[in-house]
Amino acid sequence: MRILLIEDDSVLGAAVRDQIAGDGQSVDWATRLDAAGDAMTGTAYDLVLLDLMLPDGRGIGFLKALRARGDVTPVIILTALDQVSDRIEGLNAGADDYLVKPFDLAELSARIGSVARRYTGNPNPIITHGALDIDLASRSIRRDGKPVQLTAREWALFEAFLARPGQLLSKAQLEEKLYAFDAEVESNTIEVHVSRLRKKLGSGVIETERGLGYRLGSS
């Protein structure tokens, strides 16, 4: 997944960013709502982590504007506001979850995974795809009962296919998933990692539509 973190606290923001990256996700970090808005204009994020008290305004207004224009990107609120009324306001504004600071980073990871699975229509963290048994929560895979090790980049790509079964994904869409791992993505990066996934998971796990992109196939 590619996640947008909107948080002005430098210590907490760095901790959350490192946690997300350690989970194998890519993350962009904005400290102001105007910067976050610009980021969302140019990038299709899979999930947003939103603080409610930012230097240039309240996150609730940002969230309401997001939903008013039809944007259904999952949003988890991260805030020190812990009153029941604050939670109700956040959820009624369109948030998918609400986490009160201070929070455990492992719990944040679990909630990100839970919300993401709900949006892909598969709340169960354990799925079977051909010869593959996939644990989305622990990001582990077994092929014919034997564990398969994926790098963070390989998992990020494979997760993109799992989230959109049957859907054709362009090379540009897949490159979006890797921007947090390097400053630049080389022209043949997707081809290289697709080839590695096929070797590890099965030659048919990713199908190529020449000139158009890739889609999840059988394993």
Residue 3's pLDDT is 93
Low-confidence ranges of the chain (pLDDT < 50): 182
pLDDT tens figures, 26-46: 899 999 999 999 999 988 888
Q: Where are the domains of the chain?
A: 2-119, 126-216
2-119 and 126-216 agree in CATH topology? no
Class of domain 2-119: alpha beta
Residue 95's pLDDT is 93
Sign for the CA dihedral angle at 72, 47, 28, 92 comes to positive
| Whether 117 contacts 25, CB under 8 Å | no
Residue 180's pLDDT is 60
* 208 phi and psi angles, rounded to 5 deg: -105, 130
Residue 101's pLDDT is 93
> In the CATH hierarchy, which fold is given to the domain comprising 126-216?
Arc Repressor Mutant, subunit A (1.10.10)
Instruction: Name 51's Cβ contacts closer than 8 Å, sequence gap at least 6.
Output: 6, 7, 8, 9, 59, 77, 78, 79
How many CA atoms within 13 Å lie on the side-chain side of 25? 28
The overall pTM is greater than 0.85:
no
According to DSSP, the β-strands at 97-100 and 126-129 are: unpaired
Helices 33-42 & 59-68, crossing angle to 10 degrees?
30
Residue 174's pLDDT is 87
